[in-house]
């Protein structure tokens, strides 16, 4: 083989190896982008849930009033509270707890995540915001907006279902 032929063969092999390496690397880069997208989506969900919970906690102690008017922040009933808090975070909910129990996606109790709506009684007539660690942010009775442990006592026995409305 002459010198020119060897040089051309060397260049051809180098270009082939470079092209093959780039083709093999492309799927790994696409996979990494997908993993990053999934991680960003998870962060967005938890960020939205944290904002909902933070908004709700601003109203701790606000008095309970059955049939409180939509948008009234001097008193809430359970569903006007959730409707207001989620609405302040760009999520529109219907007015009653029964109606709210029909929106979003069903969530089994063992898969609850912060920001999920949790419902009580059968038929449903109470709703709260799941905070994580068995805690629910809601309003009822003399204490008004409060945090309760839904894994024990009355709240545990009367748990009905849950819905995820934060995507």
Q: If you search the block for the tokens 């905070």, which residue do you land on?
A: 131
Mean pLDDT by groups of 10 residues along the chain of 167 residues? 46 38 35 38 70 97 95 95 97 97 98 98 96 97 95 95 95
The CATH code for residues 51-164 is: 3.90.1720.10
Label residues 89-124 b or e (16+ Cβ within 10 Å = b).
bebebeebbeebbeebeebeeeebebbbbbbbeeeb
Cα 31 off chain centre by: 24
pTM: 0.74
- Which of 59, 120, 126, 159 is labelled catalytic? 126
- Which of 56, 119, 120, 138 is labelled catalytic? 138
Q: Is 126 a catalytic residue?
A: yes
Domain boundaries, the chain: 51-164
Which alpha helices (DSSP H) does 58-141 contain, by range?
A: 78-87, 97-100
């Amino acid at each position: 083989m002459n010198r020119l032929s060897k040089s051309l063969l060397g260049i051809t092999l180098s270009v082939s190896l470079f092209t093959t390496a780039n083709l093999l690397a492309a799927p790994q880069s696409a996979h990494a982008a997908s993993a990053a997208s999934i991680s960003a989506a998870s962060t967005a969900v938890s960020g939205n849930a944290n904002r909902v919970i933070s908004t709700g906690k601003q109203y701790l102690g606000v008095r309970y009033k059955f049939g409180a008017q939509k948008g009234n922040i001097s008193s809430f009933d359970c569903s006007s509270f959730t409707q207001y808090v989620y609405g302040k975070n760009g999520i529109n909910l219907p007015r009653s707890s029964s109606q709210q129990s029909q929106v979003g996606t069903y969530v089994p109790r063992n898969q609850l995540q912060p920001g999920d709506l949790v419902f009580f009684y059968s038929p449903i007539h109470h709703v709260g915001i799941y905070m994580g660690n068995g805690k629910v942010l809601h309003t009822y009775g003399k204490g008004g907006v409060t945090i309760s442990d839904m894994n024990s006592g009355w709240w545990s026995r009367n748990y009905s279902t849950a819905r995820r409305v934060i995507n």
